[in-house]
Amino acid sequence: TPSAVASGVGYQVKKIHIGAYEINSWYISPFPDEYSRHPLLYICEFCLKYMKSEYTYRRHCLKCVQRHPPGDEIYRDGNISVFEVDGRKNKIYCQNLCLIGKMFLDTKTLYYDVEPFLFYILCEYDEEGYHFAGYYSKEKRSVQGYNLSCIMILPSKQREGYGKLLIEFSYLLSKKEGVPGSPEKPLSDFGLLSYLSYWRRAIYEILLAVSSKDSSSISIEAISKKTGMTVDDITSTLQTDGMLQRQSGLSNYVIVVDSKRTEDYMRRANEKNPRRIDPSKLRWTPFL
């Protein structure tokens, strides 16, 4: 866990109580002053309201009728759901979300100017309701072609494949939009690890599917169409894995696939991380 929490500068929230968990903050998040004086904040896992005292929180939990994020449930598979929340329509919820996100994000992120963004909330469903597990934000219109701005999975839910699941989800939306996308830079260390792992799996899957027929014929552009990834991200992933080779006498590169190695990788990856997005379960049309 990064322990880069800055020291000595005024007050800061050190811990949150959310749902069934108490979670230590990794970075400083700009909660309003009067809240920052309380090292432990209580957060309603359904409406994301933050509170200073356990007493207020307990009372809130008795009164709060919300059992899922505001906005539309656009994906459900088993006990996993994704809600799409518009920063303009649900400003307070999205601001609270960003303040929680900032506790685990090192880079400068937005907190209050949420209107130009859509938020995709990952929840675990049980008879009590839709429990918040993580989210990512996305600009409604990204000039740079970003399909994801910030992603955060609650530390209590990390290392279970949810990060890659949301990344896969972000590319599914890009494919529906018909425009390849890429995450906003810079990536954090864990962000980069998650993306590299996702990119590799997405590309290998396509390569294995075609390699039984004709592996040398697939172009990077074709992989981009099938994955929603940008040509740059595909090229850099293939380069990292030494899978691009210059053809003698020609200026262009070909993709060289070692099927055995690629198959072994995919088998291990699927065993380790079986969570996948099922595209048929998406109920969504692109933002207009």
Q: Catalytic amino acids?
A: 184
Q: Are 47 and 66 in contact (CB under 8 A)?
A: yes
In the window 220-239, what residues touch Zn ion (CB under 5 A)?
none
Closest CA to 269 of 189, 205, 190, 212: 205
Q: Which of residues 78-107 bind ligand ACO (CB under 6 A)?
A: 104-105
Q: Which among 73, 288, 48 is positioned nearest to 152, based on CA atoms?
A: 48
80-86 and 150-153: which strand pairing? unpaired
Per CB under 5 A, does 64 bind Zn ion?
yes
Q: Binding partner of residue 64 among ligand ACO, Zn ion, none, CB under 5 to 8 Å per kind?
A: Zn ion
Measured from each CB, the residue nearest to ligand ACO is 163
Residue 75 lies near ligand ACO (rule: CB under 6 A)? no
- Enumerate long-range contacts of 280-284, CB under 8 Å, 24 or more apart: 281/75, 281/76, 281/77, 282/74, 282/75, 282/172, 282/176, 283/72, 283/73, 283/74, 283/75, 284/74, 284/75, 284/84, 284/173, 284/176
Interacting positions 258-277 with ligand ACO (CB under 6 A) = 272-273
Q: In angstroms, rounded to a whole number, what is the distance separating the alpha carbons of residues 230 and 236?
A: 10
Q: Which of 27, 35, 111, 190 binds ligand ACO (CB under 6 A)?
A: 190
Which residues, numbered 27-46, are part of the site for Zn ion (CB under 5 A)? 44, 46
Q: Assess 142 for contact with ligand ACO (CB under 6 A).
A: no
Q: Which of ligand ACO, Zn ion, none does residue 161 bind to, with CB < 5 to 8 Å depending on kind?
A: ligand ACO
Residue 87 Cβ vs ligand ACO, minimum distance, rounded to whole Å: 16
What does the binding site for ligand ACO look like in residue numbers (CB under 6 A)? 104-105, 148, 150-153, 158-164, 183-184, 187-188, 190-191, 193-194, 197, 272-273
